[in-house]
Structure 1
Amino acid sequence: MFKRIAIVFFVLVGLVLAILAASFWLVPKDRLNAVIAKQLSDAFGYNVVLSGKPSVSLFPYLSVNFGPLSVAADETSAQPLMEIARARGRLSVTSLWEGDPALRAIELEQATITLDRDAAGNTNWTAARFFSKSAEGASENAQGNSPQATSQSAKDSLATAPQLRFPKRLRSIHLIDSKLMISDAALEAVQVIDNINATIVGPPRSANFTLSGSFVWQGEKVDAVASLEQPGAFVVGDISAGSISITSQPASAEFAGKLSWKNELRGDGSLQATVSSAARLSEWIGLTGADILPAGEIQILGDGIFTRRKLAFRPISVRNGDMKADGRLDLDLSGPGVGLSGTLAFNWLVFGGAAGAGIPANRDEASRPQPSMIETVLKMGQSGARMDLRVSADSARIAGQEVKGLAAGVILTPASFLVNIGTAQLNEPSGGEGRPLSQLRGEFAVDFDAAVNRARANLTLSNTSLAALERVFAFNIPLEGRSTISFQSTAQGDDILGLEETLKMSIAAEIEGGWLESIDLSSLLDSRERAAVGRLSGDAMRTPFKKGRVVGSVNASGVFAVSEMRLEAEDAVISASGQADFANDRLSILGTVAKPVPVPIIAGSGEGTPVEPVYFTLGGALSKPRISSVNGVQVPAN
C-alpha cells in the first residue's frame, strides 16, 4: 500500500516538473519584453517601457526577471510617472498553454513614483487612467474567482462603473524598497515617502481594492491598511465604501465611511485616533507650538468630512487624561500653515505659563510651569498657522491661575493673534482654598511684523480682592479691599526677550472699602499723634478708607510708578505719588493728608485742626512700609 502511494506521489511530482519544464520552454523569450510591457501598460493605464534583456527562472516558481523599466506620465509631463530599477513577475503556468504568458503577481523593486501638481492644479497623472472603461472583464473575473455566484445587484453595480485595470490573471502588485515623491507648486512643498513596502490586491482575487504595507515619512515608520469597494466608481466621483488604518509611534488613526474621487480625495465617515505623543506628532508633521500641546495619550472620536486640503469634524470628542472636550473643528491645510476653527467646550484645560513643556494629562500635574503664551504665539505666527476658535471651560488654569466659567475667542492670522475673553472667574489657587478672586474680561493681542512684533492688552478685573491678588502674584501689595482694576499694556520686539524688555503697563484701580496696611496716616492730622509719629507705623496699624483710586504704570523691571493715589477716609483725604519696586520689595511714596472739608483753627483755642495738609513720605519694604518723614522732618526708624 505504501509503495503504491509513493509511486503515485513521485509520478505526480514528475508530472508537475514536466509541466513546469515544458512551460519554461513555452515562454516566448524573443518577444517577452513586448508581452510584459503590454500587460503592465494595461494594468497601469500608462505606457510602460522595458530596458534590458529579461531572464526566466523555474524555481521557486515560474517567473521572469526584468528591468529597469519606466512608466510614462501624462503627455504634458516630460518626467516619467514611475521609474523602477528591477522587477520580478510570477507567470501563470496555464496561460502558456493558452497563448502568451500572463503575469500572476509582480514585484517592483526600488520604484520611484513622482506625482506633480502645478500652481493651476494640473497633475502629471490622471486617476481615471488606472481604470478600464468597460466592466465586462472585471465582472467575469469577479464571478470566476468568487466561491459564490455574484448577486444581480452586484453585477449591475459592476457593470455601471469602471474597474481597476488589473489583467485577468494578475492578482497582486508588490512594491519593495520604493519611494513616492509628491510636489505641489501651490503649497511650495515636496513630500518624500521612503521605504515603501506594500501589496496591492485587486480583481480578480477580490472585487475590492486593498492595500497593505509600510513606509517611512519624516523619519517615522508608518503601517497602513486601506480597503475600497468598487474602486472604479470611486475614481469617477461616485461614492464607495472604504476604510483606512494608519499606525505610527506618535499616533494611530482609523477611518471608515464613504470615499470618492473627483480631482481629489473626498471622505465622509467616522474617525478614531489615538495620539501617543502630541509633541512628537507636532514635530513630525511640522506643527509649530508643540510645547503647549497636551502631554499623555489623547483620544479623538468624531464624524468627519475631509478632502485633500480640508477636514471638518461635526461632532468631535477629545479625551486627554482628566480633560474632556466636545464640539466641532475645521482644519484647513491649503496654506503654508495649518488653519483651525470651530467651537470646543472643555470640562477643564491648562494654558500658558513661564517655562516648561506640555499641558498636563491630569490635575495633579497642572501646577507645573507651562510655556510662555507670547513665546508660543510668536512661533505659531511665524509658521503661518491660522486659528479661529471659540473656547469654553468649566474650569481652567491659565498662566498658573485658577479660572471658572471661561468663555473666550482665539483668533490667529499670519498678521496677528487675539484672545478675546468674554467672561472668566479667577479663583485663588489651591493654597487659597479656591475662593473667588475676580471676574476677568478683555483682550490680549500680538501684531506680527517682519521687523518687530507688537503686543498689547486691555483687561479688566472686577470685584477683585487685593489680598488674594497679592497671594496669586507673589508680591506685596500694602492695600486691601475689593477693587476693579484695568490693565493696558504694550510691548514690542523681534523675539520674546525683546517683548519682555520693552513691556509697559498702565494700571488703574478703583477700590471700595479697604485699608492701607501697617500705617495710620489719618492720625497725622492730630498734632499729638504727630508728635509720636513713630507709633503710627507697625503691624497693628492701618488706614481705613471708604473709597480709593490708584493709577500708575509698570515697566519690565517690575517698578510700579504711582502717578495718582487717592484714599478717602471718614475724616481724611490722602493723596500721594511715587513708586513701588515689586522686584526688590521697596517703597518710596510722597503724599499729603488733609481733612475732607478744611476746618479753620478757632482763635485763641490753642491747638486745633490744621487747615493746611500734612506732608509725609513713606519708605521701607512693601511688606512692611513705614512713615519716614512728616512735613520735611525725618522720622527715625524703629
Structure 2
Amino acid sequence: MRWIFRLLGALLVLVILAVGALFLLPADRIANLAARQFEAATGRALTIDGDVTPTFWPVLGARVERVTLANVAGSDAGPMLVADSVDLGVDLSQLIQGNLVVRRFEARQPQIVLERDANGVGNWNFAGVGDQNAPTGEAGTRSALPPIVLDRAQIEGASLRYIDRQAGTDVTVQGVSIDLTMPESGGAATLRIAIDRNGQQAEVNARLGSVSDLIAGEVVAVSASIRAEGAQGSFEGRAGLEPVAAEGRLSIDISRLGPALELAGAGGAEPIPEAARPLTLGGQLTLAPTGSLHLREGLVGIGANRLRLALDTTFDGPRPNIAGQISADGLDLTGFSGGSNSGASSGASGWPTTRIDASALGLADAQIGLTLGPVNTGFGIIDATRGSLTIDRARAVLGLNEVRAFDGTLSGELVANNRNGLSVGGTLALRNVSLMALLRQALGFERLTGTASADLRFLGSGASVDAIMRSLEGQGTLQFGQGEIQGIDLAAMFNNLDPSALGAGSSTVYTSIGASFTMAGGVLSNEDLLLDAPLFAVRGRGTADLGGMTLNYRVTPEAMRNAETGDALRVPLLITGPWSEPRFRLDLEGMAEQRLQEERERLEARAQQEIQRLQDEARARAEQAITERLGGSVTPTEGQTPGEALGQSLEDQARQGLLRLLGGGSDPAPAASE
C-alpha cells in the first residue's frame, strides 16, 4: 500500500514544476527542468521522451508522455515505472496558497516494478519524498513536499510486478487498475484495485485510517475486502508497513477457486471438490513483524463440516511449518470417500479409480493435535478420536492415541507418503469391536455377530484407491469372541447333510474364532482359521481378493461323533463370489474325497492287523517245530515266552557243542544201546 503513495508523491513533483513554468517556458524546457528537479529531489533518474502539454480545462495541469522512472541502483529488474502518459491536474487557487490539491492524476498503461531487496528495503522509498525530517540540499530541493490532497488518482491497464529478494518470489499481474482518493492531506484514504485478465475480474477495496501515519511506519486502522467470481474475503483490524504487520478479523468464503486461478494464469479444472464447497475461514489473525502468522478462534468450513483451529505458522524453513490444535464436534466425509453407510454398492462397482491428488502433503510441515467427535468416513462411523498429525517433507503420520468406534477401541498410526509417488501404510491394534456394527457399516455385511480383536500391519501404493487395494502387502491376526453366524446352520447341515439349512432364520453359534493371515498383491491368504463351537469345530483356508472384492474360501466343519476316539464327520463348505453376494455351497466332491480317505485309513488299519496276526502265527509254528526237533524238552521258566525259552535252549546246546569241540567239556553219557 505504501508504494502507491510514495510513487504518487514522487510524480507530483512534476505538477509543481510544470504548473510553475506553464506560462513562461517552452514544453521541452519544462520537461528537462522537471526531470532534473525530480532526480535532485529523489535520487532517481526521470526520463521524459514525449511531449509535455499544458492543460487549462477543466483543471490546470499538464500531460506528460512516455515517462520512465529509474529503479534503485544495482537492480536488474528494469525501470520502476514506464508509462505511456501521465495526466496531472491541480487546484490553482490552493497551489498559490501553498497547498497541493490534486484534482486529477491519471497514468495509462504503466509498467510498475516493485522490488524488495535482500535487506527488506523497498524501491518505493524515495529520498526526500514523504520524509518530514529529510535534510535540505544545496538548492533546497530535498525539502518535504507540501501537504497533498487527492480528489482522485487513477492508474489504468497497469502491469504490476512484485519481486521479493528475501522470499525469492517474483510475481507479475497484468490488467491492474488503481483508484485512490484522499480528501484530507495525510488523512483517511480509500483505495480500489481492479484486475481484468483472461476473462476474469477481481476487485480489492480498502480504507486506511491515516495515510501519513502509515507512511511514517505507524500502525493504522484498516478495512479491506476482496471479491472475485466464486470467492470473497474481508479483513477488519490494524496494519503497518514498516515492518509489515497486521492484526484483525479475517473472513474468507470460496465456492469456486477455478476463476481465481484462471485470473492468475494458472487455469485448469476446479481444484476444490464438490463436497468441500463452500470453503470458508474465519478468525482472529495476527501477522507478526517477524513474518509469522497466528490464528486464534479460527473456524474452517469444508462443505457442511466445521473445524475449530488454533494455529501458528512460521516461514523460516524450506517450507511453512504449522503447529497447533484442530478440533471438531463431528465430520461427514462421505462426499470425499465416495462411500455411504452401506457397503453393498461398493461390492458391485469396485473401489474408486479416480486419481488421488496428494500434492498437498508437500506444501507444508506440521505438528497438530487432533480432537474429533463422530466422523462418518463413508465406510463406517468413528465415534471419537484423540490423536496427532505430523507432516515432514510430504510424509504424513496420523497418530491414533485413542479412537472409539464400533463399540471398541483402535490405536496405532496411519502413514501417507508422497515423497516418491503415493503410498499408504500403518500399524493398527483393534480391541473388542462389534463385528455386526463394523461389517454392516464397512461392507453392508450383516451375518456375523460377536466381538473382534485384531493386529494389522499393511503397506500399499498407487494413484487411486483401487490401485492401493490391489497392491496391499502385510500381515495380521484376528481373534473373535463368542458370537453368531447368521444365514447358515452348520449343525443342521452336519447332522442331516442338508444343504438347505441356509437363509433367514438359520444361524450358527460359536465360542471363538481365530486366524492369522498375510497379504501380497492385494490378496489376503489364510491357512489356519479355527472356529470353536459347542457341538462342532470349523477349520478354514483360502483367499480374499481385497482389490477385486471377491472370496475363494473353503471351510471344513467337524461334527464330533465319538468323544473317546475323536472321530468326526467333516463336511467341507465353499464360500465364493463377491463380498456383496457371497455364494455358500457344500463341497460334495471334497466330502467324497474325505470319505474315501477315511475308508482308505480303515482298510490300511485292518490290513496292518491281519499282517501282524499272520506274523504271530508263523512265529508260533516255527517255534513249535524247533521245539519238536529238540525233543520237546524246552519248557519256559516263569516270566519267559516260548520263543525266549527256545532261544535259551539253543544257546545252551551251542555252548556245550563248542566246549566238546575244543576239548574243554565232558561228553554226554553213552547211550544205553552201546
* TM-score normalised per structure 2: 0.68
Tell me how far 1:130 sits from its aligned partner: 8.0
Q: 2:249–2:283: 8 Å Cα contact kept in structure 1?
A: yes
Partner of 1:544: 509
In structure 1, the residue matched to 2:5 is none
State which drifts further: 371-380 or 317-326: 371-380
Give me the whole-angstrom Cα distance separating, in 2, the residues matched to 1:321 and 1:447.
26
Cα shift at 1:27: 6.4
Q: Which residue of 2 aligns with 1:611?
A: 566
Matched to 2:310, the amino acid is R
Is the partner of 2:468 in helix, strand or coil?
A: helix
| 1:442 matched to 2:412 | yes
Q: Distance in 2 between matches of 1:496 and 1:123?
A: 50
For 1:258, the aligned partner's letter is R
SS at structure 2 position matched to 1:75: coil
Residue segments in structure 2 that go unaligned for 5+ positions in a row: 1-18, 136-142, 341-348, 596-674
Change (3 A) 1:170 1:624: closer
Matched residue, 1:593: 558
Q: How many residues align?
A: 551
1:40: how far off?
5.9
Q: Is the aligned partner of 1:509 residue 2:478?
A: yes
Return the offset for 1:214: 1.5
Q: Secondary structure at the match of 1:468?
A: helix
State the 1:226 CA deviation. 2.6
Which residue identity lines up with residue 414 of structure 1 in the other structure?
Answer: R
Cα distance in 1 between the residues matched to 2:403 and 2:126? 55
Q: Secondary structure at the match of 1:499?
A: helix
Cα distance between partner residues in 2 of 1:447 and 1:41: 57
Give the counterpart letter for 1:417 in structure 2. Answer: A
Aligned CA distance change for structure 1 residues 251 and 324 (closer, same or farther; 3 Å): same
1:93 aligns with 2:92: yes
Distance 1:88 1:281, change over 3 A: closer
Bigger CA drift: 490-499 or 207-216? Answer: 490-499
1:316-339: CA deviations, max 9, x gaps? 234567543333234556778765
Change over 3 Å in CA distance of 1:128–1:288 after alignment to 2: farther
C-alpha separation between the residues in 2 aligned to 1:594 and 1:484? 27
| Selected match of 2:375 from 392, 396, 400 | 396
Spell out, residue by residue over 1:222-260, the C-alpha distance to the aligned partner (whole angstroms, 9 max, x if none): 222233344454456543333322222232222222222
Contact residue 518 and residue 625 of structure 1 kept, 8 A: no
Structure (1 or 2) with the larger CA radius of gyration = 2
TM alignment of 1:465-504, pairs within 5 A: 465-474=434-443, 476=445, 479-493=448-462, 498-504=467-473
Distance 1:445 1:284 in 2: 36
Is the CA contact 1:354–1:372 (under 8 Å) kept in the aligned structure 2? no
Contact 2:484 2:508 in 1 (8 A): yes
Give the conservation status (yes or no) of the 8 Å contact 1:384–1:413: no
Cα distance in structure 1, aligned partners of 2:279 and 2:373: 20
2:394 to 394, 412, 415: 415
Q: Distance in 1 between matches of 2:464 and 2:353?
A: 13
Q: Hey, which of these two has a bigger chunk of strand by percent? A: 1
Residues in 2 aligned to 1:390 and 1:351: alpha-carbon distance in whole angstroms = 19
Gaps of 5+ in 1: 1-20, 138-163, 360-368, 427-435, 601-609
* Candidates 223, 236, 252, aligned match of 1:273: 252
Q: Is the 8 A contact 1:521 1:593 kept in 2?
A: no
Amino acid at match of 1:618: L
Aligned equivalents of 2:396, 2:567: Cα separation in 1? 53
| Change in CA separation of 1:215 and 1:456 when aligned onto 2, cut-off 3 Å | same
Higher mean alpha-carbon deviation, 476-485 vs 78-87, is at: 476-485
Letter in 1 for 2:131: K
SS at match of 2:187: coil
Does the residue aligned with 1:552 lie in a helix, a strand or coil? strand
In 1, Cα distance between equivalents of 2:355 and 2:403: 23
1:237-289 CA-to-partner distances (Å, cap 9, x unmatched) read: 54333332222223222222222233x52111222333333666688787999
Alignment of 1:620-635 (within 5 A): 620-621=575-576, 623-629=582-588, 632-633=591-592
Rounded Cα–Cα distance in structure 2 between residues aligned with 1:336 and 1:219: 35
1:70 aligns to 2:61 (yes or no) = no
Q: What are the equivalent positions in structure 2 for 1:203-352 lying under 5 Å apart?
A: 205-216=185-196, 220-235=200-215, 237-262=217-242, 264-277=243-256, 290-292=271-273, 295-306=276-287, 310-319=292-301, 323-331=305-313, 340-351=322-333
Q: Cα offset for 1:180?
A: 0.9
Aligned-pair distance for 1:490? 0.7
**2:275, 2:336 within 8 Å by CA — same for their partners in 1?**
no
Q: Distance in 2 between matches of 1:219 and 1:497?
A: 38
Counterpart in the other structure of 1:116? 115
TM score, norm. by length of structure 1: 0.72
- Percent pairwise identity: 16
